């Protein structure tokens, strides 16, 4: 196995350990700590939305016209009809395929 | 009796497994597209076993982000699990240490939600039930990853079949899942602006940390709302 591939294996193992730490962490903490400070809790609550947004916004701005349009259409329809993520993916995919193969 | 509980768990987890299956296959196809081998892809699903963070991991890996930042991002996306394991602690205290090890390893979003629901109703949260519920989601997740990865390897140009839009839309769907939380709009707005600015002025991959940090700091600095935080069941179906 070449060193670069070995690094990927190490990366996956590190990610698995990090994930396991989050899964056992609350149990360990709750037996130690009585209460989480409110500001810390607010910050922790914000983590997933804040991290995931950084993977969405730049793709929308720099991903090209077809990607931006399909993201927007999927977003608008999913929000309006309260659709699941899976349906949203299907809509976005259909829009981008239409744009790429029929329109542009 | 114990066997019945196991099968009751299997039946409970079955619909969740069906709902998560397309995401397992999607992960497999996209991971191969981002430079993973089929074996790496299956290995990641089997060891990390957290759909959203696996997607984040392959996206960042594909963009040649530094390894420590990939692991940190996986940790950040999975951070909600800390709240889960704290919350279900009271129901699984009677598990043996080895049972706890497996229970925490299998603690995906629906597992948390269902355990919480069961415990709240006063039904016994037994290890056979927990294991049945967990395994009927875990093994198909790995199998669907394999199918997706094999499929992904057969595709020449992912753009021609529109694979490249799926990750941003998937993440967008996840973000929308958190929209009931306190301060959702200001946090998302600040993270979005900061990440685009970070991309523009500093460059990838720093936009991830810059944008995330901006949103989290904002949440910490805003005056407390006084409302009790809703139980974190945001990413329900994605395993």
Q: What is the pLDDT of residues B203-215, one digit of tens each?
A: 877 788 789 889 9
Is A26 in CB contact (< 8 Å) with chain B?
yes
Which pLDDT belongs to residue B1? 57
A93:B22 CB<8 A: no
Would residue A74 be called left, alpha or beta, if left means φ above 0 and alpha means ψ between -120 and 50 degrees? alpha
Q: Choose the weakest-confidence range: B5-9, B28-32, B151-155.
A: B151-155
Contact A75, B228 (CB under 8 A): no
- Higher pLDDT residue, B169 or A40? B169
Residues 6+ apart with CB under 8 A from B26: A89, B148, B166, B170
Residue B233, pLDDT above cutoff 80: no
Which pLDDT belongs to residue A91? 96
Q: Choose the weakest-confidence range: B100-104, B181-185, B189-193.
A: B181-185
Residue B227, pLDDT above cutoff 70: no
Half-sphere exposure of B31 (CA within 13 A, CB side): 32
Residues of B in contact with A50 (CB under 8 A): 187-188, 191, 211-216, 219
- Higher pLDDT residue, A52 or A60? A60
Tell me the average pLDDT of chain B. 87
- Higher pLDDT residue, B237 or B109? B109
A30:B86 CB<8 A: yes
A49:B175 CB<8 A: yes
**Distances A44 to A40, B66, B106 between C-alpha atoms, Å:** 6, 23, 22
Region B152-170: mean pLDDT is 82
pLDDT per residue as tens digits for the range A33-50: 767 788 877 887 787 788
Residue B7, pLDDT above cutoff 50: yes
Region B34-41: mean pLDDT is 94
CA distance linking residue B238 with residue A9, whole number of Å: 24
Residues of A in contact with B63 (CB under 8 A): none
Report how many helices (DSSP H) and strands (DSSP E) chain B contains, helices first: 12, 0
Q: Choose the weakest-confidence range: A88-97, B46-55, B98-107, B216-225.
A: B216-225
Q: Which chain A residue's Cα is nearest to B218?
A: A43
CA distance linking residue B29 with residue A59, whole number of Å: 19
Is A50 in CB contact (< 8 Å) with chain B?
yes
CA distance linking residue A88 with residue B75, whole number of Å: 26
Q: Which chain B residue's Cα is nearest to A13?
A: B47
Q: Which two tokens stand for residue B191?
A: 């993270």
CA distance linking residue B216 with residue B213, whole number of Å: 5
Region B184-200: mean pLDDT is 95
User: Angle CA(A84)–CA(A88)–CA(A90) in degrees, nearest 5?
Assistant: 120
Residue B228's pLDDT band, with cuts at 50, 70 and 90, is very low
Which pLDDT belongs to residue A29? 84
Residue B229, φ and ψ in degrees, nearest 5: -60, 135
- Higher pLDDT residue, B162 or B147? B147
Which pLDDT belongs to residue A104? 63
Question: What ipTM does this complex have?
Answer: 0.84
Region B85-108: mean pLDDT is 93
Which pLDDT belongs to residue B77? 82
């Amino acid at each position: 196995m070449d060193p670069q591939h070995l690094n990927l294996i190490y990366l996956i193992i590190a990610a698995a350990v990090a994930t396991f730490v989050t899964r056992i962490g609350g149990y360990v903490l709750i037996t130690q700590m009585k209460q989480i400070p409110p500001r810390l809790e607010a910050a922790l609550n914000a983590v997933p939305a804040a991290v995931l947004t950084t993977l969405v916004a730049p793709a929308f701005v720099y991903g090209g016209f077809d990607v931006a349009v399909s993201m927007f259409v999927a977003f608008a329809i999913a929000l309006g009809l309260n659709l699941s993520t899976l349906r949203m993916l299907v809509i976005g995919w259909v829009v981008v395929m239409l744009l790429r193969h029929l329109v542009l | 009796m114990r066997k019945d509980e196991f099968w009751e768990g299997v039946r409970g987890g079955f619909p969740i497994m069906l709902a998560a299956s397309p995401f397992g296959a999607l992960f497999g196809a996209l991971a191969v597209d981002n430079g993973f081998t089929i074996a790496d892809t299956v290995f990641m699903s089997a060891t990390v076993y957290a759909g959203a963070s696996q997607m984040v991991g392959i996206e960042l890996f594909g963009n040649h982000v530094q390894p420590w930042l990939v692991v940190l991002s996986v940790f950040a996306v999975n951070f909600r699990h800390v709240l889960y394991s704290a919350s279900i602690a009271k129901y699984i205290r009677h598990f043996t240490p080895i049972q706890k090890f497996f229970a925490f390893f299998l603690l995906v979003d629906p597992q948390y939600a269902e355990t919480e629901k069961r415990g709240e109703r006063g039904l016994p949260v037994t290890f056979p039930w927990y294991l049945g519920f967990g395994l009927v989601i875990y093994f198909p997740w790995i199998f669907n990853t394999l199918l997706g990865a094999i499929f992904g390897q057969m595709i020449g140009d992912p753009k021609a079949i529109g694979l490249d839009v799926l990750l941003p839309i998937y993440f967008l769907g996840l973000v929308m899942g958190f929209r009931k939380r306190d301060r959702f709009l200001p946090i998302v707005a600040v993270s979005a602006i900061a990440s685009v600015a970070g991309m523009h002025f500093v460059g990838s991959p720093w936009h991830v940390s810059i944008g995330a940090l901006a949103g989290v700091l904002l949440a910490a600095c805003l005056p407390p709302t006084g409302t009790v935080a809703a139980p974190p069941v945001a990413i329900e179906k994605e395993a």
